[in-house]
Amino acid sequence: MKNCPTCQASYPVTFAVCPQDGTPLVEVGAWTPGAVVRGKYRIISKVGQGGFGAVYKALHVNFDELRAIKVINKEYLSDQLFVKRFKHEAVITRKLQHPNAVRVDDIDESEDGTPFIVMEFIEGQSLRKLIETEGAQPASRVCSVIKQSAAALDAAHRIGMVHRDIKPDNIVLVETPEGEMAKVLDFGIAKVKEGSKGDTGGMTLTGTGVVIGTPQYMSPEQAMGKRGDQLDGRSDLYSLGIVMYQMLTGELPFRADTTMEMLIAHVQQPPLDVCSVHPELRIPDAVAGVAMKLLEKNPDDRPASGQALIDEIEAAESGVSGEIGATHVISPYNLVDQPLEEPPPPPPPPP
């Protein structure tokens, strides 16, 4: 592809000069900053690189709006099954229209034949970064983020889509005029990876099956090697429970030195009680109870749906609203920020 330095228009490599102004064209890569892909998306910068694709910040030249463009890595282009699933999952994800899920706008191929997905561009802080820099969060904020994330998952589950890789990296906090909004990223990506011949992002548990996900946040079902239609929305809720636990305590519910130990812990070990990890945090019992219920080994013992989880959190909030409102951010575990208890009144004078 070639660009015109004067008008910024893009043309095939067979063109020598710009048909509009006669300026000699400069050959650029399809994803070089300044390149215009499909005559609509001007690449601004590369903002992320993952195991199977890169993400670019781009400007829609007709709408003058920012977009995020996800592009398959070159080594996957020869995997026709992967490419097919990439496109199919983009079509399915396009149906997920929810304010707490990143919107998919388009799917196309660049001039060199590379498939790409056009998504809503969001600017914010990932939960991973928040936990790394600030540690445990106040129960009120945790409840808000988890409820919003659960709402996005509930909408996805209703159209038959299981995320499979819920983790702090895939939840971004965006500031809006109405307050903090949680956005869940990468719906459909884990399922695409299941169709890859060369995927190494999963962890082999049985020696015959590859498990897709992030070991620290996998459900017991995933850790045992279940995949595809063997998983339902309650698997995502378990993963969201680990995120909730980590937001409340700054810690993971299991201790493990290896990936295999972590997978076994999900299947066999009870999680550390959320209130005992850092007792000084004084996590409200009702909120802690919701987090622990999400971490039940048996999916039948977890909330049945994202909406059921929202209802349980709201019930916990209503039961301890004063306690939740008094909780402060501890960064990390700074007791100076902890609300002090009032001393008991003096006893009445003797008669």
Catalytic residue set: 165
- Report the candidate in 151, 164, 163, 170 with the shortest Cα–Cα distance to residue 313: 151
Rounded distance, CA 233 to CA 231, Å? 7
**Tokens matching residue 174:** 């965006």
**Tokens matching residue 251:** 């810690």
